[in-house]
Amino acid sequence: MGEIEQRLETLTAERLRGMRRGMEKESLRARADGKLALTPHPAALGSALTHPHITTDFSESQLELITGVHADVDGCLAELREVHQFVYQTLQRECANVDDELLWVSSMPCGLPSDETIPLGRYGTSNIGRAKSVYRMGLGHRYGRRMQTISGIHYNWSLPGVSSEDYFALIRNFRRHAFLPLVLFGASPAVCESFVEGRPHTLERIGGYTMHMPHGTSLRMGRLGYQSEAQASLSVSYNSLEGYGASLQDALTRPYPAYEAIGVRNLGGEYNQLATTLLQIENEFYGTIRPKRTIHQGERPLHALRERGVEYVEVRLMDLDPFEPLGISAQTMRLLDVFLLHCLLADSPPDTPAEIAEVAHNQHLTAASGRRPGLLLRRQGRDVALLDWAAQILDECAPIAARLDDLHGGHLHARALRAAQDAIAAPHTLPSARVLASMAQQHGNAFVDFVRARSQATREALLATPLAPARQAALERMAQESVEAQQRIEAADTMPFEQFREQYVSPLRLTPRSRLRA
């Protein structure tokens, strides 16, 4: 019996049944012609500031749909489907020109206008609402608004009885092995030319207004995605909560010359960004996975982590799957559950600066060329074939899938694992390859035409099944209650915004109480 199997035996059935997951799914609102919808966030969907399930991400045009925490995969997907149905049915019933808008089903954006005309998310007149908009203004100044229109799915996962130390071990292994989900689930090998207009890149033209990487898996997670020179200067270690917290605090408090040149406010007094530090707030730190903790009202995320430890992990590298109406399938979620357990149970030695550099190298290489025959990655200073490494990890996942199937009945986890093994052995069946094949065979290699057709099919499928009346009524109440909650927040504000901003970005808000007492 191997070490993973031995550690698996120590997990009781009760703990495994306590596994929880939830999702946050981003989608651009696009017009029927494949261009970005520039309309405000629909008022009928409620307040983007306070609604627990329907908000916006970077842009007014970028919906974010959020599930609660679920004990099973099917329940999580069912809630995500209901929220999608409510969005489409509300738009159809109450918003003009609904037939002109679609939820864009690709991670890479639709046709984009000039950078400055991409609308930022708006959250009302309260201090916290203004801070959210100013943060987005800062992202636009730092990285460009186009980069921020990339969408994806965040998969939040936890298991009872896991310490912060063990979660960080999981995170280290996930980062080491992130090439595997990038290959298996990457679905963004092509993009509309408008995304890279005026930017240096190594993409190849494949059709009118379409650029691609022939063996690419996820442009979203590559050098054209969530990357920046500033963050590339960070070498964050995941060896402990203390070390991670110190690294993040340094980035949140260290002045960065390029951002100091932008300034917090412009000459007209309008805000450019929340701060001139390397990171404005914690969410600006990009990565394939994050340690997370539920925060109290007004609390900084880093403070919550330091004060109460890691509660769950947030997987951030999942592309939207344009072949799935909800952007992800139950089979994919089950494979993620198995993979995350593997990351938790496998040996996880401390990371080093050399390994951190290898992780970044492997991520960029896999994103750009993950389906290239014979592709070699770096592991502990040596070359290793991606296919061999992937096969090894998936083989080690077999007892985990079997244990979960024994626990829940059936063979769904084993089938998910077998599907992953088959896909690795036949790269033309991977989502990224299917995207390029569908573009070529049905849409003249036009990325926008392909995604527009998939988005229209998704819209029709979701509208074909109406919500149950009770669920429809509950979501309508939730939307109205969110508007009233925003109004209460705005009415209660008395502090000038500049004072609020200074207090929010203060280093004291990042420090746990134990250190403040010392």
**Distance (Å, rounded) from C-alpha 143 to C-alpha 344?**
34
**Distance (Å, rounded) from C-alpha 355 to C-alpha 351?**
6
Q: What are phi and psi of 177, to 5 degrees?
A: -105, 15
Q: What is the DSSP string of 150-215?
A: ---EEEEEE-TT--HHHHHHHHHHHHHTTHHHHHHH--BSEEEGGGTTTS----EEEETTEEE-TT
Average pLDDT over residues 64-72: 98
What is the token pair recorded at 17? 């049944």
Closest CA to 269 of 116, 505, 498, 506: 498
> How confident is residue 122, by pLDDT bands cut at 50, 70 and 90?
very high
Q: Say if residue 322's pLDDT is above 80.
A: yes
**Distance (Å, rounded) from C-alpha 244 to C-alpha 188?**
30
- What sign has the CA pseudo-torsion 283, 196, 208, 35? positive
Q: What is the DSSP string of 228-243?
A: -HHHHT-----S-HHH
pLDDT of 18: 98
For residues 377 and 311, is the Cβ–Cβ distance under 8 A? Answer: no
**Distance (Å, rounded) from C-alpha 26 to C-alpha 491?**
30
> How confident is residue 463, by pLDDT bands cut at 50, 70 and 90?
very high
What is the token pair recorded at 264? 């917090």
**Distance (Å, rounded) from C-alpha 354 to C-alpha 36?**
41
Mean pLDDT check: name the lowest of 46-55, 359-368, 489-498, 504-513: 504-513
Closest CA to 32 of 98, 105, 117, 120: 98
**Distance (Å, rounded) from C-alpha 62 to C-alpha 140?**
14
Q: Say if residue 433's pLDDT is above 70.
A: yes
Q: Say if residue 55's pLDDT is above 80.
A: yes
Closest CA to 173 of 313, 60, 322, 13: 313
pLDDT of 91: 81
Average pLDDT over residues 503-518: 78
Q: Say if residue 94's pLDDT is above 70.
A: no
Q: Say if residue 516's pLDDT is above 70.
A: no
- Residue 89 bridge partners (DSSP): none
- In 406-453, which ranges are E strands? none
Q: Say if residue 518's pLDDT is above 60.
A: no
Q: What is the mean pLDDT of the chain?
A: 94
pLDDT of 511: 85
**Distance (Å, rounded) from C-alpha 467 to C-alpha 513?**
47
Q: Say if residue 368's pLDDT is above 90.
A: yes
Label residues 417-438 b or e (16+ Cβ within 10 Å = b): bebbbebbeebeebbbbbbbeb
Closest CA to 318 of 98, 23, 87: 23
Average pLDDT over residues 230-259: 90
**Distance (Å, rounded) from C-alpha 290 to C-alpha 245?**
12
Q: Which residues contact 295 (CB under 8 A, 6 or more apart)?
A: 301, 303, 304
pLDDT of 225: 74
Mean pLDDT check: name the lowest of 186-195, 202-211, 239-248: 202-211
**Distance (Å, rounded) from C-alpha 294 to C-alpha 311?**
7
Percentage, residues of the chain above pLDDT 90 = 88
pLDDT of 286: 87
pTM: 0.96
For residues 315 and 340, is the Cβ–Cβ distance under 8 A? Answer: yes
pLDDT of 197: 85
Q: Looking at domain 3-517, which of 3.40.190.10, 3.10.450.750, 3.90.1150.10, 3.30.590.20 is its CATH number?
A: 3.30.590.20
**Distance (Å, rounded) from C-alpha 456 to C-alpha 445?**
18
pLDDT of 517: 52
What is the token pair recorded at 160? 């009872």
Average pLDDT over residues 372-376: 97
